[in-house]
Amino acid sequence: MPAMPPLWSVVLNWKKPDMTSACVRALLASSYPNHFIVIVDNGSGDGSAEKLREAFPNLTVIANEHNLGFSRGCNVGVRHALERGAGYVALVNNDLIVEPRGYEDAVREFGRSPRTGAVTGKIFTADGKTLWQAGGHISHLKVSGVARGHFEPDRGQYDTPGLTGWASGAMSVFSADALRKVGLLPEEYFFGQEEWDISTNLLNNGFEIAYVPTFIGRHAHGGSYRPHPILNDYGGTRNRLLYADKYIPTLWRLPWKAALWMHLRVVMPGKLRRMSGEHASTIGTRVKAMQLAFSKHTAGTPVTLEEFSAVSRELGVADSWAPDRP
């Protein structure tokens, strides 16, 4: 029986070494026989890299000097894997637990068609019963990701394998051949929407994205961005605009932008007021953050940590994406 192609898992850490350790321990239990793991610490500045090296002395831990954002940070690990002969590269969020047999089923799916560029799976929330995502697609009408099954109880309604339009950045396996053809994660997005971009890029280049329901993960979603709702609002709006500039035809992009401008000024304030939760007191600042993102956006201009820092000062909020300082 031929050896299984090498599969590398890339796990990005930012100030969550305990959470990352739980993710990695689950990956070490994978039944896939030719599996390697690289952990990338994304400039945490809090001793995370040292803790992870101590916890996993036999694994590669790469320490980025600065917080490069999700795409650029992950790409450090992806390049490491490709340079070492990876046949497949898995992106796994550090707040996600992959079930042991998942990789075997995911890689088996690649053998069904040479056009398969990525495989994603059934992702639960942390309770293991409620769905986070079972595939999905990127709506060019709304310029938004549409996650299939989002927050539905799992009743087996998505237990049929098939093609999908969204390779989740939380848990997907990519073929090395596809990555070499279409490129790695797009680096203009600091955090978020890069998964929309690479999914669209794969499909535009003739690849398919497969959904395998036995490739299962449990996702404690928001492990890195939950403490940062304001910058997430700003960054998310900028990212949607970047994606629209790149992929949405002009005839629809221009009216969509006009509708978004109105939505941010008329609809969003009331929508946030009707919402309750931990960030209800920041409604005004959140709305201003989204409006600033719209006004500051320039087509093709990447979102950077320096931009986040400047916006934080403008909004008068903590620069919480920066590394810890002594």
Question: What is the reported pLDDT for 251?
Answer: 96
Whole-number average pLDDT of the chain: 92
Whether residue 1 is contained in a domain is answered as no
Query: Do 111 and 119 touch, CB atoms closer than 8 A?
Result: no
Q: Which domain holds residue 204?
A: 7-219
Q: Is 193 in the same domain as 234?
A: no
Task: Look at residues 219, 252, 286 and tell me which one is the last residue of a structural domain.
Answer: 219
Same domain? 177 vs 299? no
- Using the 3D structure, point to which of 219, 237, 253 is the last residue of a domain: 219
Q: Which residue type is seen at 6?
A: P
Has residue 320 been placed in a domain?
no
> Would 83 be classed as within a structural domain?
yes
Whether 47 and 182 map to the same domain: the answer is yes
On whether both 93 and 63 belong to a single domain, the answer is: yes
- Is residue 324's pLDDT more than 70? no
pLDDT at 228 over 70: no
64 forms beta bridges with 42
End-to-end Cα spacing for the chain: 54
Kindly state whether residues 286 and 246 are assigned to the same domain: yes
- Give the separation between CA 201 and CA 167, rounded to whole angstroms: 11
Does 326 have pLDDT greater than 60? Answer: no
If asked whether residues 214 and 243 sit together in one domain, one would say no
User: Do 51 and 95 fall into the same domain?
Assistant: yes
| CATH number for 119 | 3.90.550.60
Q: Give 230's pLDDT tier (boundaries 50, 70, 90).
A: confident
Q: Say yes or no: 92 and 161 in one domain.
A: yes
The number of beta carbons lying within 10 Å of the beta carbon of residue 79 is 17
Mean pLDDT calculated for residue range 255-269: 94
Strand, coil or helix: 244 = helix
Confidence bin at 282 (pLDDT 50/70/90): confident
Tell whether 145 and 237 lie within a shared domain: no
Phi/psi of residue 84, nearest 5 degrees: -105, 20
* pLDDT, average across residues 160-168: 98
Asked if the structure places residue 261 within a domain, the reply is yes
**For position 2, what pLDDT does the model report?**
60
For 89-128, the pLDDT digits (tens) are 999 999 999 999 999 999 999 999 999 999 999 999 999 9
Domain boundary among 181, 201, 219: 219
pLDDT of residue 285: 85
80: nearest Cα among 166, 181, 171, 6: 6
In a domain, 22, yes or no: yes
Residue 80 lies in a domain: yes
In a domain, 325, yes or no: no
pLDDT, tens digit, for every residue of 125-158?
999 999 999 999 999 999 999 999 999 999 999 9
192/246 same-domain check:
no
Residue 1 pLDDT exceeds 50: no
pLDDT value at residue 43: 95
Same domain, yes or no: 210 and 282: no
* Per-residue pLDDT at 320: 65
As a whole number, mean pLDDT of residues 200-223 equals 93
* Residue 306 belongs to a domain: yes
| pLDDT value for 232 | 82
Q: Are residues 175 and 39 in the same domain?
A: yes
Domains: count for the chain: 2
22-26, 28-32, 64-68, 282-286: range with lowest mean pLDDT:
282-286
Evaluate whether 194 touches 169 at the Cβ level (below 8 Å): yes
